[in-house]
Amino acid sequence: MKIAAVSEDGVTVSQHFGRAPYYVVVTVEEGRVVATETRPKVGHREFAGAGVVDLGPEAKHRTMGEAIADCRALLAGGMGSGAFTAMQALGIEPVLTDEPDVTAAALRYAAGELPNLAGRLHVGHGDPHHGGHPDR
């Protein structure tokens, strides 16, 4: 099974899905890592700036998930509710974890031993960072 994790350094699970520049895709078979690859991940930096057309949050999240469409799960330290829902819509299970090591997290997920920490989900209502509008 292929399991993706967001990462800033290729080793550590990133605490923020949207800001991480990479996916580390770990292939686990029979409890062992048989392959690891790093894939580029679009994020907030690609969707910001002058001259960039705002695609809206659903399209942005879908674009972020396309690079890992062949993965069963996505591991992250935290993510917004929109990204969480978008990954589910793509058939990818989003798993929020406090396990810092990508390989250890992937092995634990494959073994059914990695809890999904729902408290790490950022709801984002009223937060302009997550596409909401601040209350005035």
The answer for residues whose C-beta is within 8 angstroms of residue 53's C-beta and 6 or more apart is none
Pick the CATH number of 2-130 from 3.40.109.10, 3.20.20.70, 3.30.420.130, 3.20.20.80: 3.30.420.130
Higher pLDDT, 26 or 80: 26
User: What is residue 127's predicted lDDT score, i.e. its pLDDT?
Assistant: 41
Tokens coding 84: 């969480």
User: What is residue 134's predicted lDDT score, i.e. its pLDDT?
Assistant: 35
Q: State the alpha helices, DSSP H only, in the chain.
A: 57-66, 81-89, 102-110
Task: For residues 35 and 26, give the distance between their C-alpha atoms in angstroms, rounded to a whole number.
Answer: 6
Q: Is the pLDDT of residue 131 over 50?
A: no
Which of 31, 57, 28 lies closest to 131 in space, CA to CA? 57
- What are the residue boundaries of the structural domains of the chain, listed by start? 2-130
Element counts in the chain: helices (H) and strands (E): 3, 7
pTM above 0.85, yes or no: no
Q: How would you classify residue 131: left for phi > 0, otherwise alpha for psi between -120 and 50, otherwise beta?
A: left
Task: For residues 67 and 38, give the distance between their C-alpha atoms in angstroms, rounded to a whole number.
Answer: 11
Give, as one character, the DSSP assignment of residue 44. G
Percent of the chain with pLDDT over 70: 79
